[in-house]
Homo-oligomer: A and B are copies of this chain.
């Protein structure tokens, strides 16, 4: 899995802007996330990363995921107390988690509905992030 020129520039720029260095490992982890757009845990990213870079360590995977999150290229997704998952979809979206199949899906949200949610906040409060997670049954698992 090679990063296209476009994504490499995006990555280098984003890292530099946040005072971080572009390294082979960070590039590789980014390409792993772009390569299969499910919502892997750090362990899963580690397993996929090792396929092409056997010497990478789990600590480095965490480190890279943190660097990518800090640079704004990757989002961390949490469901209750489960391991953090990572995704490279940067559009405003929520997540749907089907406990039956274990599958996680992105749910696109309009600006409109985000604004509507923000309007529920008490005066003076400013939200710089909104996390929305649905729990339920997906189409396949639903009776």
A136 contact from B96, B126, B133, Cβ within 8 A: B126
Contacts of A122 in B (CB 8 A): 96, 105, 107, 138-139
Is A127 among interface residues, defined by CB-CB distance under 8 A? yes
In the bound assembly, the distance between CA atoms of A80 and B117 in angstroms comes to: 19
Contacts of A135 in B (CB 8 A): 127-131
A96 contact from B80, B110, B127, Cβ within 8 A: B127
Contact with B along A38-82 (1 / 0, CB 8 A): 000000000000000000000000000000000000001010110
B124 touches A139 (CB 8 A): yes
Contacts of A84 in B (CB 8 A): 80-81
How many chain A residues touch B (Cβ–Cβ < 8 Å)? 38
B142 touches A121 (CB 8 A): no
Is A3 among interface residues, defined by CB-CB distance under 8 A? no
Of all chain B residues, the one with the shortest Cβ separation from A109 is B120
Contacts of A110 in B (CB 8 A): 120
B124 touches A96 (CB 8 A): no
A interface residues (Cβ-Cβ under 8 A, vs B): 76, 78, 80-81, 84, 94, 96, 98, 105, 107-110, 113, 116-117, 120-140, 142
